[in-house]
Every structure is written in structure tokens, then in C-alpha cells.
Homo-oligomer: A and B are copies of this chain.
């Protein structure tokens, strides 16, 4: 393998494929990046066996393909080396089978490589009619739900996002059993139905890979899912098992309906959270009155805080309810419209947040009992 390529042409691709390499990986060969130089261009592949990212730098972007071939390069040093080289032409050449020379005019790196035969075979299959979605829409869906996945391995399925397609409706749900985020998105055509769970950590990496331009192709399978974007193939394993049915968790009737200003409400909660007793849950209390919402918290020995937020309320009924300010703030960040609906029943029933104009996003937060 021997090629000449401008440093900036390889840096971005390498940065992106390396998102698949896990720092906690214990299989030595998977710490390597696979280089396959063909007549079409340079393929780069990285995998942690759960997630695989592959890309091609097409031949038009390579100065010279002198000799095709393949090699596995230790990723630990490679990215830093390329990053610290000036933006000039870089020579990349395999010597003696298991060594690679990366050189510019004044620099020669000589790196030991990993054995090509040890690299696992990874097949990236496609379906005939993949789901097509704009990258910015997919990023939006991810960011409105991903924060609610569980970080606890005790219920592995909840560490993933539930992706469902039914006709032209894409539904994404994430929950850690204390709060739930649900986003519904109308696709431009009808597709074959599926219902699967993608690991949250992999979706996080997908989000970093996607920019706001262009379309993403989604190819679902029984045990894996492939996203194609730009020159990238991004394949994730799925979490096995049936995602819990969450549709009956979200109430549809509400006794108390409040309308408020998102930013005002957000900052009030943010300040009230400063003086909370329990640093894990950051509990604050919210009490409705005719035209105002009183948000309060206290920390013994420190002090207390009271915030007043203007609201509109549907009914003369009032309620006092406590919840985790951390969960509330994370949920509030997913809304863009300034007018926010807060839907309540009793102090033990879920709090539902919606935008007044856009029904596609629902955020649910369970209250916390305080005595």
C-alpha cells in the first residue's frame, strides 16, 4: 500500500471513523484503524464490534495511489500524528508488511502495525428501500430524546432509544423509568414497519458524525441497523428484547392545564435548583395559584429560594407538586417554541410538557413524593 494525500483530506475522515473505537476496548486488534487502498480510493474502517464506522476517501481526493493494499494501524497515535502534521502532502507507505511510514518533507513516522488477518470480518448490508430522512431532522429527533435514556445497566433495554416506523410515522422513545421523552416524526413516504432499540451511546456517536446538511439512509435489520450519510456507513448492533410498552404511561386527560413562557420557567427552575437538599435529585417544589406558579426549594443550614412565574391556568383547581429539577431542565431544553404547556393531574401523576404549537414532542416527568 502506498499513497500520497493532503493532510486535511484524511484528518476529518479519520476523526469520524475513530468514533467507533472504544477506550475501554480489550480486543487489541480493534484498537486499530483498517486502511484499504483500492483503485476507487482509500477505505477507512474502525469498530468496537458493537459499532462500526466505515468511510471512503474517493480517488479524486487522493494525490497519488501508487500501490493498492491493506493494513491495520494502531489508532492510539495515528490521529494525533495526522493532527499535528502541517497541511502538506503526506506519504503513507507500508514497508516490510507490518510497518507503515507516514512522512512529509521534514517528518518521518515509522509505526508498527497490527496483523491484517486478525481483523474481524464486518459485513455492512443494505435493504432495498431504506428510510430517507434529512440529517438535521434526525439530529433533532436524537437530541430531543437521547438525554432520557437510562445510564444504569440493570435494565439494559432502557439504555437504548426505541425506534419505530409504522407506515410514514417514525416514533422515538427514551425512558429511564423516572422520565420519558417521545418524538413523533412524519416521513415523506410509507415504509415497511419495524420496532427496534439502538444503544444510546452509539446514537450519541451518530449525532456527532451528522452535520446539518444532506440526507441519511436508514437500513434496519433484525439485530443491527445501518445509517448511511455522506461517504460514511455507520452500523450499530441492536439491544435485544422487547422495549416496554410506554403508550399507556402518558395520560391524555388533564385536570390542570398551564401555559407559561419557556425561558422564564427554565431560569426559575435553574435558580431554584441552586439550593436543593439532595444533590442527586435536586428536588424543587412547584405550587400553582390563579395567575402565578411559585417554584421553591430549600437546603437546611444554607437557606431557601422562591421564584414566581406568570402563568395562564384553565381551572380554579390548584396543586403543589415536587420533581427533580435536573430532569425538568433537561426536558425543557428540547423545546424551541416560547409558549409551553404544563399538563397536570395530581401530585403523584406524571407531569407532561408540550409545546402549544407542536404536538410531535412529549416530555414526561414523574413527580417525587416529599413528606
Contacts and interface: CB of A to CB of B under 8 A. Distances in A.
Contacts of A301: 112
A290 to B, nearest CB: 16
A286 to B, nearest CB: 14
Interface stretch (A102-110, A127-135, A205-213, A356-364): A102-110
Contact of A80 (B108, B274, B303): B274
Interface in A327-369: none
Contacts of A107: 268, 271, 305-308
Interface stretch (A59-67, A81-89, A139-147, A185-193): A81-89
Given A80-B274, A274-B80, A275-B77, A108 B267 contact: no
Nearest to A308: B106
A184 interface: no
B106 A270 contact: no
Interface in A178-225: none
A257 interface: no
Contacts of A85: 271
Nearest to A300: B112
Contacts of A303: 77, 99, 109-112
With most chain B CB atoms within 10 A of its CB, the pick from A74, A270, A275, A305 is A305
A81 B307 contact: no
Nearest to A101: B303
Contact of A112 (B106, B108, B270, B302): B302
A216 to B, nearest CB: 35
Interface string A264-288: 0001101100110000000000000
Given A80-B274, A111-B302, 10 more contacts: A81-B271, A84-B267, A84-B274, A99-B303, A106-B268, A106-B309, A108-B305, A108-B307, A109-B271, A112-B303
